[in-house]
């Protein structure tokens, strides 16, 4: 079977911090995985990212274009009804000035930033802009704009999970591509012993206080990895449990994080909002670590309760504690197997490639993307 011709793709990074800093959260890992996966499929990749970004491991063939400017404020901690904001000397317009220049000679431009500007540009520029939406409906103006643009250009949007996509008013079935990881970078650890773990940006919507309460109730330690986005919140959480319950580990690259995380007997995942996916859940399972999580948003599509961990009703602390005591019933090998079968780098890159190709073809002949994408 003849391989389709390679695509010339421009990838536009999140404007919330340079790649490698951790400030961009799970989007950074998504970009790293997809960039490597698309390279392995033979595509030509140009990556436009904030100044100071570093190329992911295994991506030496990428043309990195760095843009100076002030970080874009994230939507996570802003009011739902708030306006779109661009700070003075912001990096966001610079990223898109370069992306549009490069996109004129590319087959497609793939946007990873959850921002108003690139989506607004979609119907107003010649380059084909595709958007991998990284969050749920955390903003009224973003919900409205995505719904509006998707009416005439449904193929330009893809989502990580069906639960995430349900936050938006879409007239067609959403294109869901999941997420993927370079599983060779995660070492399976078979020991069911060790402390409890929690990974994520330390801010209120991530619900760290509930995981800390579980550890306190079980007289256990909770290792916490991630950027402390809200120091005042972190202090409140630490003061809510006995001294020594929380051990702040900091932010580490995957190579270090996976070794430490893999030594945990369970990951506790406690989102207070509708997570789009849940990268840390798959990272834990790739190491063989069962996950106990609230059945809210993306995690509810990733965890098979009783097989790879336990799902409990959102905000039910008693059930969260009870489920954590049952993680020894989970076969850690099955956690790793789920990751291999559902969230590999190869699977993810192939689905994104299919999305882009089908979108280009559908628009060329006037058909809907659902006729090409499954």
- 89-106 confidence digits (pLDDT tens): 999 999 999 999 999 999
Residue 319 predicted with pLDDT over 90: yes
Residue 363 predicted with pLDDT over 80: no
Name the residue ranges covered by the structural domains of the chain.
Answer: 8-180+344-371, 183-342
Percentage of residues of the chain with pLDDT beyond 70: 96
pLDDT interval class at 367 (50, 70, 90) = low
Residue 25 predicted with pLDDT over 90: no
CA 143 to chain centre: 18
259 near 234, Cβ under 8 Å?
no
Q: State how beta strands 8-12 and 266-269 pair.
A: unpaired
The values of phi and psi at residue 216, to 5°, are -65, -40
Helical segments of the chain, H only: 26-40, 91-103, 116-121, 140-152, 162-165, 208-217, 231-239, 254-261, 279-286, 299-302, 317-324, 332-342, 345-365
- Secondary-structure class of domain 183-342 per CATH: alpha beta
Average pLDDT over residues 331-340: 98
Tell me, what's the pLDDT at 1?
38
Topology given in CATH for the domain delimited by 8-180+344-371: Rossmann fold (3.40.50)
Contacts of residue 151, defined as CB under 8 A and 6 or more positions apart, other chains included, come to: 171
- Tell me the C-alpha distance between 29 and 24, whole Å: 9
Tell me, what's the pLDDT at 273?
87
Q: Which position has the higher pLDDT, 224 or 374?
A: 224
Is there a shared CATH topology between the 8-180+344-371 domain and the 183-342 domain?
A: yes
Tell me, what's the pLDDT at 234?
97
Residue 212 predicted with pLDDT over 70: yes
Tell me, what's the pLDDT at 337?
98
Neighbours of 152 (CB within 10 A): 10
Average pLDDT over residues 40-61: 93
- Tell me the C-alpha distance between 264 and 300, whole Å: 21
Average pLDDT over residues 59-86: 92
Average pLDDT over residues 146-163: 96
DSSP type of residue 247: E
Lowest mean pLDDT among 22-31, 217-226, 342-351: 22-31
Compute CA distances 19 → 23, 48, 55, 302, whole Å: 8, 10, 8, 26
pLDDT in tens, 295-312: 999 999 999 999 999 999
Average pLDDT over residues 31-42: 95
Of the candidates 8, 5, 29, the one whose C-alpha atom is nearest the C-alpha of residue 17 is: 29
Mean pLDDT for all residues in the chain: 94
pLDDT in tens, 178-194: 999 999 999 999 988 99
The strand order across the sheet containing 108-111 reads 63-67, 44-50, 8-12, 108-111, 129-132, 157-158
Tell me, what's the pLDDT at 370?
47
pLDDT in tens, 102-139: 999 999 999 999 999 999 999 999 999 999 999 999 99
Tell me, what's the pLDDT at 74?
86
């Amino acid at each position: 079977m003849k391989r389709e011709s390679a695509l010339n793709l421009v990838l536009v990074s999140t404007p919330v911090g340079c790649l490698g800093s951790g400030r961009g959260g799970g989007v950074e890992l998504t970009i790293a995985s997809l960039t490597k996966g698309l390279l392995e499929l033979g595509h030509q990749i140009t990556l436009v990212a904030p100044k100071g970004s570093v190329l992911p491991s295994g991506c030496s063939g990428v043309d990195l274009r760095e843009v100076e400017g002030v970080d874009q404020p994230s939507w996570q901690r802003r009011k739902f009804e708030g306006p779109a904001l661009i700070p003075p000397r912001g990096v966001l317009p610079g990223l898109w000035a370069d992306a549009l220049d490069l996109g004129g000679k590319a087959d497609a431009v793939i946007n990873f930033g959850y921002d108003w500007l690139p989506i607004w540009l979609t119907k107003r520029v010649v380059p084909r802009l595709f958007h991998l939406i990284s969050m749920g409906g955390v903003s009224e103006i973003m919900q409205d704009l995505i719904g509006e643009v998707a009416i005439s250009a449904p193929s330009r949007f893809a989502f990580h999970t069906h639960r995430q996509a349900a936050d938006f008013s879409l007239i067609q079935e959403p294109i869901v591509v999941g997420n993927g990881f370079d599983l060779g970078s995660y070492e399976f650890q078979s020991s069911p012993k060790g402390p409890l773990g929690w990974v994520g940006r330390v801010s209120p919507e991530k619900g760290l206080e509930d995981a800390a309460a579980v550890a306190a109730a079980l007289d256990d330690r909770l290792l916490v990895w991630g950027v402390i986005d809200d120091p005042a919140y972190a202090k409140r959480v630490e003061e809510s449990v006995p001294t020594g319950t929380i051990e702040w580990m900091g932010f580490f690259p995957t190579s270090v994080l996976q070794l430490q995380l893999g030594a945990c007997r369970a990951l506790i995942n406690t989102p207070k909002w509708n997570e789009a996916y849940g990268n840390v859940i798959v990272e834990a399972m790739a190491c063989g670590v069962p996950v106990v999580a609230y059945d809210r948003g993306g995690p509810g599509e990733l965890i098979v309760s009783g097989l790879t961990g336990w799902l409990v009703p959102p905000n039910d602390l008693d059930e969260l504690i009870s489920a954590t005591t049952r993680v020894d019933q989970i076969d850690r090998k099955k956690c790793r197997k789920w990751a291999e079968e559902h969230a590999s780098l190869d699977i993810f890159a192939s689905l994104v490639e299919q999305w882009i190709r089908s979108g280009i073809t559908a628009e060329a002949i006037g058909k809907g993307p659902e006729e090409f994408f499954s």
